[in-house]
Structure 1
Amino acid sequence: MTHDTAPRPRPARQRILAAADELFYSRGVLSTGIDAVTDHADVARKSLYNNFASKDDLVHAWLEQRHRDWRGYYDARVAAAQGEGSVDGAGLVLAVFDAYLDHAMAAGEGFRGCGLLNTAAGYPPDSAVRQLVRRQKQEVEDLLALGSPTHADMLSHLLEGAVTRAGLEGSPDRLHRAREQAAVILGARTVPEGGQG
């Protein structure tokens, strides 16, 4: 019995989301048309509409995927810290900052800041996109509050300001500094990025 070891092609929905991730993040949602996404995904336009009701539906699915990706980085950071011992409040907060750094590093040379904020900026305040991003950002603030209820608002402002400036500068340096500042705010001993110190 022989087994075909050739990789199976990814379903059209996955290819479309991967193409949207690359193009929406690098070019911006409003600057990227459906044809660019379908060409990049190597699918027919009909395939896109078989999987997504509209471009707005695709944008929502993409934003949800980006947030899930970030949450995966956060969960991995917390799990790694737990594997090294107990995680205190400062460790939970710094895991949020580390997850932002992990997401930034995954973008590599193409780092443009927070894809959620970049996208929300192009939509009206009462739009469904803005509402979704607000919920996602509130989840991040809630995670900060788990580690430091009294400083969550301040830490959220520090984090979001740093990621915005980092995106403008095309470098995660501001996020590294914000992480150091968060440790100072929390009165934490110096905790190296990547784990408990």
Structure 2
Amino acid sequence: MSTTAKEKILHAASILFYNKGIEATGINSITNKANVAKMSLYNNFSTKNDLIASYITIRHQEWLDLYAIQENRAKTSLDKILAIFDAYQDHAEFNYENGFRGCGLLNAAAEFSANSPHRVAVKKHKEEVESIIKRHLSHLTQDQNKINELALMVSFLLEGSISRAGLEGSSHKVTAAKVLTKKILEKEIINEK
């Protein structure tokens, strides 16, 4: 199956945005890496901002797809929460050209102003992850305050662990956060029943 110019551009942009940063990556670098004419880029994306928006959408879907695989393997609601860490670990252990640099979406968000559309899109992704946690917690407890509190705590452990994993170039902190999360949730919810 042949790859379209749009797919080549998105693939090249994804690699360069992750490795070098969005602002530091110029259109010429993208078209050179994609091996397409500059006009091909503008035929598929009217601006660099459109390309960035597509990159953020792709990174988000990529994570959702990784999570779906892990979630399907999980048997219990607790396992489905812990599977979120496994999906983050899958991302961390991907064979990046220049090594793992942390969450690609958080890296992207750091390059934009607080209320920019790109940063808002990343925020929505993180909110969706927290929403997934809440959904699974609701099968473990009916206490909405506890669900909200624990979902926030799990999301903090998750994001902190992926940030540390990016700094260290290793997914060990994600594994450690998963173990901590399991202990906390067992103590807070499962052992209460």
Q: TM-score, normalised by structure 1?
A: 0.85
Matched ranges for 1:19-58 at <5 A: 19-58=12-51
Report which of the two has the higher share of helix: 2
Residue 118 of structure 1 and its aligned partner are, at CA, apart by: 0.4
Q: Is the 8 A contact 2:165 2:173 kept in 1?
A: yes
Q: Is the 8 A contact 2:164 2:173 kept in 1?
A: yes
How many corresponding residue pairs?
A: 176
Q: Deviations over 1:82-137 (max 9, x none)?
A: xxxxx322111111111001111114561111000001001000101111000011
Residue 160 of structure 1 and its aligned partner are, at CA, apart by: 0.6
The runs of 5 or more residues in structure 2 that have no matched partner are 138-146, 188-193
RMSD: 1.3
In 1, Cα distance between equivalents of 2:114 and 2:53: 16
Q: Deviations over 1:115-171 (max 9, x none)?
A: 000010010001011110000110000011112224100000110111112112221
| 2:25 match: secondary structure | coil
Q: Deviations over 1:20-46 (max 9, x none)?
A: 111111111111111100000000111
Matched ranges for 1:159-178 at <5 A: 159-178=158-177
1:140 aligns with 2:133: no
In 2, Cα distance between equivalents of 1:156 and 1:178: 10
Runs of 4+ in 1 over 6 A off after TM superposition: none
Q: Is the 8 A contact 1:92 1:146 kept in 2?
A: no
In 1, Cα distance between equivalents of 2:174 and 2:153: 15
Q: Is the 8 A contact 1:63 1:116 kept in 2?
A: yes
Q: TM-score, normalised by structure 2?
A: 0.87
Distance 1:80 1:88, change over 3 A: closer
The runs of 5 or more residues in structure 1 that have no matched partner are 1-7, 82-86, 189-197
In 1, Cα distance between equivalents of 2:83 and 2:46: 36
Which one-letter code corresponds to 1:110 in the other structure? G
Q: Which residue does the alignment assign to 1:112?
A: 101
Q: Percent identity?
A: 42
Q: Which residue does the alignment assign to 1:122?
A: 111
Q: Which residue does the alignment assign to 2:154?
A: 155
Q: Is the 8 A contact 1:114 1:163 kept in 2?
A: yes
In 1, Cα distance between equivalents of 2:46 and 2:14: 18
Q: Which residue does the alignment assign to 2:62?
A: 69
Within the candidate set 95, 108, 111, 2:83 is matched to: 95
